[in-house]
């Protein structure tokens, strides 16, 4: 069963058509919009600071979203995918962002819209990631601009797929197209 706990009088809140895996964890000052999903072993910990998530955000298996006490909450826009085992900590992700598997985004970093953070990348504290770009490496650097096709083919496709995957769990009679 999903662990959903209040912390210091603040309860997680979410919109419609959200899916939480049975072993996902949501605690404290967490607010998310519609059509979000939190997958197996993912943790969204709003205990020491706030977590704000827009619509159509998917937090994949093993990912962790947290903040820093009295310093940095975490803000996530719409249509964002946070890959397996990624860490998103005390930062801002704007709309249409893909954070790859195992990537880390640190405190006070800002990832602007239509941007991909490559698998395994480390976005250091205070880094500003330009819009419509790909960042990779440790520490992460901009490696190229993103075309409209890549935004549609990767960022939007993955976010939309996770809405579909959620429906398989919330509507067990759904057939796979």
pLDDT value at residue 152 = 87
Residues 2-38: pLDDT tens digits? Answer: 999 999 999 999 999 999 999 999 999 999 999 999 9
175: in domain: no
151: in domain: yes
pLDDT value at residue 134 = 97
94: in domain: yes
Contact predicate 106/123, CB 8 Å: yes
pLDDT value at residue 158 = 96
CATH number at residue 50: 2.160.10.10
54: in domain: yes
Number of domain units in the chain? 1
Contact predicate 129/142, CB 8 Å: yes
105: in domain: yes
Give the C-alpha separation, 131 to 113, whole Å.
5
31: in domain: yes
Domain of 132 in residue numbering reads as 3-170
Average pLDDT of the chain is 95
| pTM metric for this prediction | 0.95
């Amino acid at each position: 069963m999903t662990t959903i706990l209040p912390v210091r009088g603040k309860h997680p809140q979410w919109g419609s058509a959200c899916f939480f895996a049975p072993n996902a964890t949501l605690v404290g000052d967490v607010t998310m919009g519609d059509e979000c999903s939190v997958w197996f072993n993912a943790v969204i910990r709003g205990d020491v600071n706030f977590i704000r998530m827009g619509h159509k955000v998917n937090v994949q298996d093993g990912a962790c979203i947290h903040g820093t006490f009295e310093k940095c909450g975490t803000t996530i826009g719409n249509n964002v995918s946070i890959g397996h085992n990624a860490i998103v900590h005390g930062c801002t992700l704007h709309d249409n962002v893909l954070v790859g598997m195992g990537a880390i985004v640190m405190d006070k970093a800002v990832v602007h819209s239509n941007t991909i953070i490559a698998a395994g990348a480390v976005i250091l504290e205070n880094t500003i990631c330009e819009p419509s770009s790909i960042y990779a490496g440790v520490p992460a650097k901009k490696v190229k601009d993103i075309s409209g096709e890549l935004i549609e083919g990767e960022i939007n496709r993955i976010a939309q797929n996770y809405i579909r995957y959620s429906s398989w769990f919330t509507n067990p009679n759904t057939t796979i197209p």
